[in-house]
Structure 1
Amino acid sequence: MKALILKRYGKSDQLAFADIPRPKIKPNEMLVQIFAAGLNPIDNVIPKGTFKPILKFKLPATMGSDLAGIVVEVGSRVTRFKPGDAVYASILDLGTGALAEFAVVPESAAAIKPANLDFVQAASIPMVGLTSWQALKERAHLKPGQKVFIPAGSGGIGTFAIQLAKHLGAKVGTTTSTANVSLVQRLGADEVVDYKKQAFEKVLQGYDVVLGTIKGDVIEKSIGILNPKSIIVSLIGPLDAAFARARSMNFLMAFVFGLMSAKIIRQAKKRGIEYSFLFVHPDGHQLAEIGKLLDAGHIQPVIDKVFPFNQAKEALAYLEEGRAKGKVVVSIV
């Protein structure tokens, strides 16, 4: 089968198409014919080796994590799916990739594709949906009436997280460029700061949750807009010791990550604010719950551009430019 593989860490030119054997499944897995694969910023970070100490990649490795497709084979222990089912999933850090004609998907990572979405729309959802769900519902326990700050509202995470936060009854503040103000307002943002004209930390106040989505000093600046006993959930670091422990890393890694996050944790504690780093994990049951929201129309996919499979490298380059409104998807079939 055809797949986009990473030959070795370091440079972008280590990505190449290759013909590789169709993968074989274990009893708790399914073989899925991929119709579309959604791209995420981590797909451009992985080849650089940044996550080498964290992710379980065996090179050469097939790239991509989000997929939508049709089940063609199921293992002997699979009970929730059968051949012919349309499914979607995130398979990040599960030893296989989505930028291929077929992929192995553990039963635990998959959910039935929302009936009202096509495969391209469905493939745009898994990682941003799971990340938003795990950050806002599980980690922050976002409640109706609370205020959540979601920077970069027009990006892949932002466009989904805004809609989920509004569904949960929260008030949403965000940042975006002038051209995208109307987009984030349509998605439900209550307070929109045009970062080209204003500094968000001088405009926003009284927030209960911050979703860290942008590198740089945004997280440190966001401490000033939060109420006491609030929470910062960062998706971009710094990593913390709790993350190392959750992934059963050794004491040294926990110590190193603790040092990396010590400054922001110390600054947050001065204001009575909790800081934590979140690394998304695949979860088919959560995807099923997200699917209900999509089926009901409470959340709409936002897709910027769709590339054919033979332009997957160009799709990754486009995503890395950082100007996509919503998601970038690769159509496999």
Structure 2
Amino acid sequence: MKGIIAEYEEAALQVTDSLELPEPSTNQILVKSIYTAINPVDHMMVNMGILVESWPFVPGCDAAGIVVKVGGEQAASKFSVGDEVCGCTRLGMKGYSTCQEFFLMDADLTIPKPKNLSLAEAATIGVGVETAALGIFKGCAIPLPDPDNLPAPKNEWAVVLGGASTVGRFGIQLFKLLGYKVIASCGTRSFETVKQTGADVVFDYKIPTTEQISETLSVLNETRGNLHYVLDAAAGGFEFGRALFKELPDGVAKYFATTNDWSGITDFEGGKSDCIKLGLIGRDSGTEVNDALVAYIPVLARLFQLGQLVPAPYVEIGNGGFDAVLEALQYQKTGAAGSKKVVVQVQDR
């Protein structure tokens, strides 16, 4: 089987045709990789060995493709050969990486591709929407909504730090669907894009934290609104969260969910904190994350199907094939795509 490998940590990525075809277990499916999206975590795994269980290693964890084999009755109750699927696979584990011809997915953690999305669009949603959902529903302890009966708007606010990122954009959309108004941070060049995503107020993440807090409190004072939630999609918002929580009244519920899962952030300033650990998806040690995603995925899939959630903009690199995958990995690493997701066609249908 063909794919992209790094022979060892920090090794150059290369095309190989010697990969072993994975075999799905009873509650798994084997998926033909059609499109894969490239994420920063792919480079972190290759260059730092984070989450990698063994070498050589194949990158990729965010994809859309077609089911070619169903492992057993458990998986067959959810999917059939020929179904189009998408989502985030297990990170760092052999057989699950998406930059290869075929890869494994856990049936319970697989998103049926929404019919209104193309395969390329579907490849962009897994990591972003699942991370945002873990931050909002688990980290901020907000109940799952009924997609067909969404809450009415309310005069309550949430902050999304890193609003131009894929996680940030899905965070903004989910908070808005839950009835909250959103204050988001991003670079000045992304202001309009983040506002179009749904943010009510946007501030520059480069201004001093004291000014960020001042702008946030000014919005609350002007609207007489309440604020209980901070989603840190940028992984660097602890200083903001701590300073903001100091300014909020004592006894008020305060939740801080962050994609920074490596710094050991714990509860602070009378609030609750949660480090989002999507890297545990599918693993035996990730029971809490997996159980949560099993509950979230049908709701998220329905929201996409209804057009309530929409994928972020993306740029497709190359003309398909594994040389194009190498090109896409390098392109994403340079940052040339900006806030757009990088997508590549691995092979034809």
Alpha carbons of 1:215 and 1:50: their partners in 2 closer, same or farther (altered >3 Å)? farther
**2:48 maps to 1:49:** yes
Match of 1:171 among 162, 174, 181: 181
Q: Quick one: which amino acid aligns to residue 275 of structure 2?
A: F
Cα contact 2:195–2:202 (8 A) shared by 1: yes
Query: Counterparts of 2:32 and 2:161 in 1: how far apart (Å)?
Result: 35
1:203 lines up with 2:215 in the alignment: yes
1:166–1:172 contact (8 Å) kept in structure 2: yes
In structure 1, the partner of 2:124 is 124
In the TM superposition, residue 196 of structure 1 has moved relative to its aligned partner by 4.9
Provide the aligned C-alpha RMSD in A. Answer: 2.2
Q: Distance between the aligned counterparts of 1:235 and 1:91, measured in 2?
A: 18
Counterpart for residue 304 of structure 2: 294
Would you say the 8 A contact 1:111–1:285 is kept in 2? no
For the pair 1:59 / 2:83, whether they are aligned, the reply is: no
CA distance in 1, matches of 2:298, 2:4: 28
8 Å CA contact retained: 2:233, 2:259:
yes
Trace 1:1-333 onto structure 2 (pairs within 5 A): 1-9=1-9, 11=10, 13-19=11-17, 20-49=19-48, 51=50, 55=51, 57-77=53-73, 78=75, 79-93=77-91, 94-95=93-94, 96-142=96-142, 145-196=155-206, 199-205=211-217, 207-216=227-236, 218-226=237-245, 227=248, 228-240=252-264, 261=265, 265=266, 269=268, 271-280=269-278, 281=281, 283=293, 286-307=296-317, 308-309=320-321, 310-322=323-335, 324-333=338-347
Distance 1:162 1:317 in 2: 29
How far did 1:169 drift? 1.1
**Deviations along 1:149-192, whole A, 9 cap, x unmatched?**
11121111112111111111111111122221111111110110
In the aligned structure 2, how far is the partner of 1:197 from the partner of 1:220?
13
Structure number with higher strand proportion: 1
Specify the SS of the correspondent of 2:254: strand
Partners of 2:62 and 2:124 within 8 A in 1: yes
Q: Which letter maps to 1:106? A: D
Unpaired runs of 5+ residues, structure 2, are: 144-153, 221-226, 283-292
1:229 shift after superposition: 3.1
CA deviation map 1:46-94 (0-9, x unaligned): 112252xxx3522112211111111111112322111111111211335
After TM superposition, the structure 1 stretch with the greater mean CA deviation from structure 2, 203-212 or 160-169, is 203-212
| Equivalent residue number for residue 223 of structure 2 | none
Counterpart CA distance in 2 for 1:27 and 1:74 is: 8
CA deviation profile, 1:126-165 (whole Å, cap 9, x unmatched) = 1111111111012202475432211121111112111111
Q: Distance in 1 between matches of 2:64 and 2:39?
A: 14
Counterpart CA distance in 2 for 1:159 and 1:214 is 11
Q: How many residues align?
A: 301
**Deviation, structure 1 residue 221:** 2.4
The 1:23/1:237 distance shift into structure 2, 3 A limit, reads: closer
Q: Structure 1 residue 291: deviation in Å?
A: 1.3
What CA distance in whole angstroms lies between the structure 2 residues aligned with 1:213 and 1:24? Answer: 35
Give the secondary-structure state (helix, strand or coil) at the position aligned to 1:30.
strand
Tell me if the contact between 1:142 and 1:170 (Cα under 8 Å) persists in the aligned partners.
Answer: no
* Unaligned runs of at least 5 residues, structure 1: 241-260
Q: Is the 8 A contact 1:43 1:63 kept in 2?
A: yes
Q: Distance in 2 between matches of 1:65 and 1:149?
A: 28
Task: State the 1:28 CA deviation.
Answer: 2.2
Cα–Cα, structure 1 residues 17 and 219, in superposed 2: closer, same or farther, change >3 Å?
Answer: same
Aligned to 2:290: none
Q: 149-158 vs 113-122, which deviates more?
A: 149-158
Instruction: Name the % identity.
Output: 25
Q: Which amino acid aligns with 1:296?
A: L
1:201 Cα deviation from its structure 2 partner: 2.6
Equivalent residue, structure 1, for 2:151: none
